[in-house]
A and B are shown apart, each in its own frame.
Chain A
Amino acid sequence: MTDRFVVSDSSVLAFAPHIVFRFDDVRQKWIILAPERLMLPDEQAVEILQLVDGKTGVSAIVDSLAARYDQAPRELIAKDVTAMLQDLADKGCLAGAGPD
């Protein structure tokens, strides 16, 4: 039995093997395909997920979003990003990559 992966500022995440994150031409939407499951991430989630590459850490993802949305406080962005990534990790869509 593996332990739950807890997402923190220093985590580096990647899509779990067998998870497909792609653009669907028929629906003109980004989709996540998982075992017997389909998710349609909203615009914000898509923006975050496009930064998940198995190399960029959570704090760097937050920095990059904070630079794009300079009106929003960094702590608020960090909280939202971590919650969203934790939810997808709990669903088995994301897993830790590299040293944590």
Chain B
Amino acid sequence: MPARIDPPLALLAELTHRCPLACPYCSNPVNLERAAGELSEQDWRRVLGEAAALGVLQVHFSGGEPMARRDLAALIGGASGLGLYSNLITSGTLGGAPEIAAFAAAGLKHVQLSFQDFTPDNGDRIAGLAGAHARKTRFAAAVRAAGLPLTLNMVVHRQNLDGVPDMIEMALALGARRLEIAHVQYYAWALANRAALLPTRRQLDQATQAVEAAREKLKGVLTIDYVVPDYHGRRPKSCMSGWGRQFINVTPSGTAVPCHAAETLPGIAFPSVRDSSLRDIWYDSEAFNRFRGTDWMAEPCRSCERREIDWGGCRCQAFLLAGEAGRTDPVCALSPDHGIVEAALQQAEAPPPALVYRRYSPAR
């Protein structure tokens, strides 16, 4: 455990797992939480208050589709009243101008709107919802009409990556100031669909070039967030900027985790905001201290000069691919398990299998 623990910068409030879309790369867990298990508005208001007192500066209202919650405007208002900078992460498929006006009045600062592709046909196919793309387009216009800054989030993979130049044009046409071109990360639903989603090297290189050219051309007009996906890199991503360093994520049922995938790790008792304060969770819980800093690392991370840059990569990926959360992230070329990633990349050169869509599991 490091000698000094800084306060968290951001709270990811996953209000619900309910969502009209069925994207096959959804980052929600495979066992989705039902509405009955969700925290109440009162619980969330307390969590927001604890977060502000702890030093959290930004709150990201996410899901699922956070607009499935009737109390979203009230929660945005609560966050604003506490001085938290609030961000809505939405699919834009529930509601429109009246809801956005209410959010803006409650103090919302920014909207991040997802699109599944630049064409309605492929977008709706990937989302698993007819008419989704058209609804999103209207939603984007309503966000701009309300005077709120808009970021488009395009999740990219082998079945839409060739459209990156068109996605950039779409972002400009919709009046976005930022565009996130986010490669699918292979956890939960996406891991099950990896062979259908992982791009080929050639596709990736073309997309990266298109982004670099557009960044140059659109400097000061459109900011493009884009990172080469970790499977194709030499070193791992600095996952969540390090375990328990900047982010605290609260799931719909109130479990506090250092990242949205951490619940998949076995043998760690993640605390709940139902019975612990956010402060105790952040500073004192065993779960948040488990992979903090560098003491937990084994070789090759322990003596690596990048150990405080990438923080050993992702603990969930180490577990999902190599079977042990404490190992080096297998995407790192120095990992003894790197062959697993190379094999997946090899598989990506073959024709893709059918997609498995996100669905609730049969009633428990």
The chain A residues found within 8 Å of chain B, CB to CB, are 1-6, 16-18, 20, 24, 26-27, 31, 33, 35-36, 38, 89-92
Contacts and interface: CB of A to CB of B under 8 A. Distances in A.
A3 B221 contact: yes
A31 to B, nearest CB: 7
A24 B54 CA distance: 12
Contacts of A3: 221
Interface majority SS on A: helix, strand, loop or mixed? loop
B112 A36 contact: yes
A72 to B, nearest CB: 27
Interface string B83-98: 0010100000000000
Q: Which 3 A-B pairs have the closest CB atoms?
A: A4-B220, A26-B55, A35-B110
B297 interface: no
A35 B55 contact: no
B57 interface: yes
Contact of A18 (B10, B54, B57, B110): B110
A18 B109 contact: yes
Contacts of B223: 91-92
A35 B178 contact: yes
Given A24-B57, A35-B109, A35-B178, A18 B148 contact: yes
B7 interface: yes
Interface string B160-173: 00000000000011
Contacts of B110: 18, 35-36
Given A1-B172, A24-B57, A18 B149 contact: yes
B151 interface: yes
Contacts of B55: 24, 26-27
Contacts of B147: 17
6 contacts: A4-B221, A18-B110, A33-B109, A35-B151, A36-B178, A90-B219
Interface of B: 7, 9-10, 54-55, 57-58, 60, 85, 87, 109-110, 112, 147-149, 151, 172-173, 177-178, 219-221, 223
Contact of B58 (A18, A27, A38, A92): A38
A33 B85 contact: yes
Nearest to A3: B221
A20 B85 contact: yes
A81 to B, nearest CB: 17
A26 B54 CA distance: 8
A92 B10 CA distance: 20
Contacts of B57: 24, 31, 33, 38
Given A35-B112, A35-B151, 4 more contacts: A3-B221, A5-B220, A36-B60, A92-B149
Nearest to B148: A18
A90 B148 contact: no
A16 B220 CA distance: 13
A14 B206 CA distance: 38
B7 A4 contact: no
Nearest to B110: A35
B286 to A, nearest CB: 24
B168 to A, nearest CB: 11
B150 to A, nearest CB: 9
B220 A36 contact: no
Contacts of B60: 36
B118 to A, nearest CB: 16
Nearest to A91: B223
A6 B221 CA distance: 11
A4 B219 contact: yes
Contacts of A20: 85, 109
Contacts of A33: 57-58, 85, 109
B82 to A, nearest CB: 12
Contacts of A27: 7, 55
Nearest to A6: B220
A32 B65 CA distance: 28
A30 to B, nearest CB: 12
Contacts of B151: 35-36
A17 B222 CA distance: 16
Nearest to A86: B220
Contacts of A90: 219-220
